[in-house]
């Protein structure tokens, strides 16, 4: 048996001396037990008990309610509890149906050997421990799967929001690019420069004309040198004036 499990065994038998003998036997393996003298008393104990019942040891032949009927009722209340039925050889055929229906995990024939019975009880308690551990692991896995699913949904939502944000930014960039391209095509930089200079009283119209003339003279000189290096000859200023 595994440490950490606080087992409780319910003994049900109308013969008090047998019930007490089973209690003393179970005490040898350090497990707590309770005794009920009848099936109705045992059902009442199961319903009211705050302790989790790991195993039920029930006699078959009891007045008012047989062991098979009692264990079926107990199964409905505490389905995980391991259920052993104590019976004589004459009742084996009668209890076979209860075993097949799952109401009884195992039956013990009278008379029994105490050492063998203790081994069967310990095996039954280990079966109960495995059942509980499997249920706990299943519940934990279910909880973890739910958390992973919720996390996955959150990530999908964030990814969707991020994608929409990127698309919106791309639209804004395209709109801004179009505005800049339109502004470059429509801008008249010379007029803008003239306006700025006039507003700051840095040039008047006459001075600006002289400035343009000086710029054109420098440009004409540079272009004339370039033409000469490439086998072309520009007319002189006098030749231009004569033609005019």
Kindly report the CATH number assigned to the domain that includes residue 97: 3.40.50.2300
Task: Tell me: do 121 and 35 sit in the same domain.
Answer: yes
**Beta strands of 110-157 (E only): which ranges?**
none
Task: Tell me: do 124 and 209 sit in the same domain.
Answer: no
Residue 139 domain-assigned? no
Residue 53 domain-assigned? yes
Residues contacting 235, CB < 8 A, separation 6+: 243
- Last residue of one domain, picked from the residues 130, 162, 178: 130
Task: Tell me: do 15 and 114 sit in the same domain.
Answer: yes
Task: Tell me: do 82 and 13 sit in the same domain.
Answer: yes
Residues contacting 192, CB < 8 A, separation 6+: none
Could you read off the pLDDT of 1-26 as tens digits, one per residue?
556 678 999 999 999 999 999 999 99
Could you read off the pLDDT of 170-179 as tens digits, one per residue?
787 777 777 7
Structure tokens at 202: 């840095």
Task: Tell me: do 99 and 204 sit in the same domain.
Answer: no
* Interval 130-137 mean pLDDT: 85
Specify the number of domains making up the chain.
2
**Average pLDDT, whole number, for the chain?**
79
Residue 165 domain-assigned? no
Residue 80 domain-assigned? yes
Residue 181 domain-assigned? no
pLDDT at 165: 80
Could you read off the pLDDT of 34-82 as tens digits, one per residue?
999 999 999 999 999 888 899 999 998 899 898 989 999 999 999 999 9
Residues contacting 58, CB < 8 A, separation 6+: 11, 12, 13, 39, 42, 67, 70, 71, 74, 83, 84, 85, 86
Is the whole model's pTM more than 0.85, yes or no?
no
- Last residue of one domain, picked from the residues 84, 113, 130: 130
Task: Tell me: do 105 and 203 sit in the same domain.
Answer: no
Residue 147 domain-assigned? no
User: Could you tell me if 28 and 118 are in contact, meaning their C-beta atoms sit under 8 angstroms apart?
Assistant: yes
Residue 233 domain-assigned? yes
Largest interatomic CA distance in the chain:
148
Task: Tell me: do 118 and 202 sit in the same domain.
Answer: no
Residue 118 domain-assigned? yes
Which residue segment(s) compose the domain that 231 sits in? Answer: 191-243
Task: Tell me: do 107 and 198 sit in the same domain.
Answer: no
Residues contacting 51, CB < 8 A, separation 6+: 6, 8, 32
């Amino acid at each position: 048996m595994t440490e950490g499990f606080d087992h409780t065994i319910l003994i049900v038998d109308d013969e008090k001396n047998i019930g007490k003998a089973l209690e003393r036997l179970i005490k040898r393996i350090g497990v707590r037990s309770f005794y009920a003298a009848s099936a109705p008393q045992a059902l009442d104990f199961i319903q009211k008990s705050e302790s989790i019942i790991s195993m039920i040891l029930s006699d078959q032949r009891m007045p008012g309610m047989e062991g098979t009927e009692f264990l079926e009722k107990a199964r409905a209340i505490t389905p995980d509890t391991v259920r052993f039925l104590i019976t004589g050889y004459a009742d084996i055929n009668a209890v076979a149906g209860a075993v097949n229906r799952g109401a009884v995990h195992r039956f013990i024939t009278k008379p029994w050997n105490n050492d063998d019975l203790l081994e069967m009880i310990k095996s039954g308690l280990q079966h109960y421990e495995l059942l509980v551990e499997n249920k706990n692991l299943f519940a934990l896995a279910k909880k973890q799967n739910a958390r992973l699913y919720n996390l996955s949904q959150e990530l999908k939502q964030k990814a969707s929001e991020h994608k929409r944000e990127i698309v919106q930014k791309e639209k804004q960039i395209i709109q801004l690019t179009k505005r800049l391209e339109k502004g470059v095509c429509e801008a008249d930089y010379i007029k803008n420069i003239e306006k700025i200079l006039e507003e700051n009283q840095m040039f008047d119209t006459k001075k600006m004309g002289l400035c343009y003339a000086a710029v054109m003279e420098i440009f004409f000189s540079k272009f004339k040198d370039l033409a000469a290096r490439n086998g072309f000859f520009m007319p002189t200023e006098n030749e231009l004036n004569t033609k005019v």
